[in-house]
Structure 1
Amino acid sequence: MDKETSDCIDCRTTVMIKNVPNKYSLKLLLKTLDKHCMKCNEEMTNDGKDLPLSSYDFVYLPIDFRQLSSFFTCHFLNKCNVGYGFVNMTSPQGAWRLFKAFHLQAWQVFNSRKICQVTYARLQGLEALKEHFRNSKFPREMEQYELPVVFSPPRDGIQLTEPLAVAGNMRVGGVNTSAADEDGGDEGRPSDAAATAADQSSEVVQCGEGDDGNEEDS
């Protein structure tokens, strides 16, 4: 991480992690992020570097609720993610370290051959993320670990802050509970919030370099 201060010239902190194995859960992702933050922070402390430590305050791993439409699918108990997630680090340096650690790396779980890609998300910053997802729709069946979650204080592997869900409008039987919402949407979609977030990340630039536009299928 010697080039961290010179290379990390972008002020963005929110990244999209692509090609996530579909069986990867939010709890497992949090453990991975905790381990990453601990390693980075220990290295910086040992090296005496006066830089912002790695920590994160927002994570969202969208779940594909279309898998729940059939009683005969095993996904009723083992809900699958849609193949991407969003993380907000608390500093641009933290986002840059995450990129360097995860981008183009194999996941090495569930016998997955997927290669991780990390890009900047178009929607940036904790407050913008909270505002967006508070005004988004989610299926009623969603549990806390299937919703966007925030951490206050930020989580870093030592400070294991419990997640707090950012809940938006909850659909009941495919109908949104918000009378002011004019878009009922399709019940089969993972959530309007996830679809919108994915659309917002269509014009991303990989942290520190150009976007090659390649993404492995889920």
Structure 2
Amino acid sequence: MLTFLDRYCSEYDGMEYDFFYLPMDFRQKDNLGYAFINFTTPAAAKRFKTLLQNFRWETADTGAIRSKKVCEITWARIQGKERLVKRFQGSNFLCDEPDFLPVLLDPPRNGLDPEPAPPIVIGGINPI
């Protein structure tokens, strides 16, 4: 999913994001259908919403993503990198791998760096 976001950010100047979390349902082996993404500016968030509102995942060249869901972007109750980190840092997630945990991206990702810094995992693992 980070690769998908990087591609969009690289195509539109000024779009950067610094937090990402895609909640998963490990029993169904699928995501829950929503994600938390923090863009570094309100303008970038608005642009992303304009670009992806009503996006059809089945048309995406994303490799592993196969879905008939249609993207609906809404503003989260929790806003800002610091508040998102605070919300999730003490949480334990039912999963076996850190790949499924929320991540902080420092420096923010914009899709232009061929080797972005590794994500910083937020929260802990509570094995399934």
Larger Rg computed on CA atoms: 1
Task: State the AA in 2 paired with 1:105.
Answer: F
RMSD (CA atoms): 1.7
Query: Aligned residue for 1:126?
Result: 81
Amino acid at match of 1:152: D
Matches within 5 A, 1:84-123: 84-107=34-57, 108-109=59-60, 112-123=67-78
Matched, 1:156 2:117: no
Structure-to-structure mapping, 1:181-200, within 5 angstroms: none
What's the counterpart of residue 137 of structure 1? 92
In structure 2, stretches of 5+ residues that fail to align are none
TM-score, length of structure 1 as denominator length? 0.52
Matches within 5 A, 1:163-182: 163-168=119-124, 170-171=125-126
Pick from 18, 22, 36 the counterpart of residue 8 of structure 2: 36
- SS of structure 2 residue aligned to 1:112: coil
Cα distance in 2 between the residues matched to 1:132 and 1:142 = 21
CA distance in 2, matches of 1:133, 1:142: 17
- Distance change in 2, residues 1:126/1:111 (3 Å): closer
Unaligned runs of 5+ in 1: 1-28, 42-52, 68-78, 174-218
Task: Report the Cα distance in structure 2 between the residues aligned to 1:115 and 1:172, rounded to whole angstroms.
Answer: 31
Shift of 1:172: 5.5
Please state whether the residue corresponding to 1:94 is helix, strand or coil.
Answer: helix
- Match for 1:66: what amino acid? R
| CA deviations over 1:33-64 (Å, ceiling 9, x no partner) | 111111101xxxxxxxxxxx110000000111
CA distance, structure 2, for counterparts of residue 86 and residue 137 of structure 1: 17
Give 1:137 deviation, angstroms: 2.5
- Contact between 2:9 and 2:16, CA under 8 Å: does it hold in 1? yes
Distance in 2 of aligned mates of 1:111 and 1:87: 20
- Displacement of 1:147 in angstroms is 0.2
